[in-house]
Amino acid sequence: MDDNRQQQYQEALSRMVRMETVSDPDGNNDMDKFNRFHELLKELFPNIHNACKIKEFDGSLLLRWKGTGSDKLPVLFMNHHDVVPAGEDGWKYPPFSGEIAEGKIWGRGTLDDKGGLWAMLQAADELAAEGFVPERDIYFESACTEETTAHGADMISQWLKDNGVRFEMVFDEGGAILHEPIGGAKGTFAMVGVGEKSIVNLKFTARSRGGHASTPGKNTPLVRLGKFMAYVDKHQVFEVKLAPAITEMLMQFAPYMGRLGKVVEKADKLSPLLEAALPKLGATANALVTTTIAFTMAGGGETVNVIPMEAWVIGDMRCSHHQGKEGSIAAITRAAKKFDIEVSVLDSGYESGITDYNGSAFSLVKEAVRETFPDVDACAPYIVTGASDARYFDRVCDQCIRFMPFKISDQQMESIHGINECLDLDTLIPAVDYYRYMMTHA
Ligand SMILES: [Zn+2]
């Protein structure tokens, strides 16, 4: 029986991966491509399509599975169906081959996020075929713009709001099941995102009157930018704070951390100590407790023997909840001023709320993980450092969870938006069981 399931599951996901659904960065999606993908979904999951009312928003989908009637607020499950581009270079198997080899299924979107979409719809389709009807309404959302403009999630959540629909819980992609998620935490943990950092893109400009390279003065624009970046690299420009969700995460890790665990298990009482220590434990630990900035692009100067009148760098800033967007912009602006650098905001993302890790949504995930992934040691809340469509659903829900029920390795984690994206075949059945549990117990 399980052999049949396994075979059927991997073939379905492989077909979804083989259909290239790269979204257009400017929002001009090729609708034929997405329509063909929707047809494939209907073919693979006919029962849930028959059971639901379906509404399309410029290629993004919203399905409503009507419940038997209950005064409980509905629940939403979401996973997007667009993917980021992939060149052929460096891939063991072509990115849109959906190749099944080495105990894995390979290709762009296996993890981000067709794997999640497949598992969610597969579970729902099986339940519908068995005649199951949920008690309360279950909605499914799948956008075709998650990797680009987020237009689909924005439009759908606004439409729901305008139509008076509120959810008790929303479940999107996000964290996964990881072994040793931070150095020293020697266990297997379901990393369950309860919020996400907001993203701000900034331009830093240094100006001068120019001049000839033969008689340079001090502190020319490129030098000032260099000093500024070195300063930000060395100093703690942003506030460090252990948020309650991160404290709780550390408490979950503590029993698996050996002697260090004895300190970490008192995280709630020792926050000043941990706030001092965590930024030194590497990039991942640092990103958990503070706003970060990465300098990603630079320019200035066009001629080798002329001092530029203007030089610039661009920074990708991910803001902590405790300092927020405004506070983080103010902090980096103070640092820039020291070097006579102007700051402008290029793009400023949505700020997400934080879901209560003692609430009904987190508890349901915990139960479902315990039932379907028995070798997971604990569920740990954390704050996602990348942006997901879930942030738009704060409009219609107080509990937006970001988690995909797959066991993944460090290599697989890095393959998201990179090369050799793949998913282990033996994580497919538990993933469907997880969603079945979620839908039948919600
Ligand atoms: Zn994604």
Determine the pLDDT at residue 43.
98
pLDDT of 281 higher than 80? no
Separation of CA 239 from chain center? 23
Give the closest residue to 381 by CA, choosing from 286, 258, 244, 256: 244
Determine the pLDDT at residue 1.
64
Mark which of 332, 348, 364 sits at the end of a domain.
Answer: 348
State whether 301 and 382 are in the same domain: no
State whether 316 and 242 are in the same domain: yes
Determine the pLDDT at residue 299.
96
> Alpha-carbon distance 341 to 225, whole Å?
8
In degrees, rounded to 5, the angle at the alpha carbon of residue 6 between the alpha carbons of residues 85 and 431 is: 65
Percent of the chain with pLDDT over 70: 100
Q: What is the CATH number of the domain that holds 246?
A: 3.30.70.360
Average pLDDT of 313-325? 97
Average pLDDT of 393-399? 97
Please give the distance, rounded to the nearest whole angstrom, from the Cα atom of residue 79 to the centre of ligand 1.
8
Please give the distance, rounded to the nearest whole angstrom, from the Cα atom of residue 234 to the centre of ligand 1.
32
Please give the distance, rounded to the nearest whole angstrom, from the Cα atom of residue 113 to the centre of ligand 1.
5
State whether 268 and 292 are in the same domain: yes
State whether 342 and 435 are in the same domain: no
Please give the distance, rounded to the nearest whole angstrom, from the Cα atom of residue 147 to the centre of ligand 1.
7
State whether 303 and 340 are in the same domain: yes
Q: What is the CATH number of the domain that holds 399?
A: 3.40.630.10
Please give the distance, rounded to the nearest whole angstrom, from the Cα atom of residue 30 to the centre of ligand 1.
19
**Whole domain around residue 399: which residue ranges?**
2-195+354-441
State whether 296 and 382 are in the same domain: no
State whether 279 and 328 are in the same domain: yes
pLDDT of 271 higher than 90? no
158-209 confidence digits (pLDDT tens): 999 999 999 999 999 999 999 999 888 999 999 999 999 999 999 999 999 8
State whether 26 and 57 are in the same domain: yes
70-108 confidence digits (pLDDT tens): 889 999 999 999 999 998 899 999 999 999 999 999 999
Average pLDDT of 321-340? 97
Please give the distance, rounded to the nearest whole angstrom, from the Cα atom of residue 92 to the centre of ligand 1.
22
Please give the distance, rounded to the nearest whole angstrom, from the Cα atom of residue 227 to the centre of ligand 1.
36
Band of the pLDDT at 232, cuts 50, 70, 90? very high
Q: What average pLDDT does the chain have?
A: 95
Number of domains in the chain: 2
Q: Of 174-183, 313-322, 426-435, where does mean pLDDT reach its minimum?
A: 174-183
Peptide bond before residue 113 is cis, with ω within 30 degrees of 0: yes
Residue 53 CB burial class (10 angstroms; 0-12, 13-18, ≥19): exposed
Mark which of 348, 381, 399 sits at the end of a domain.
Answer: 348
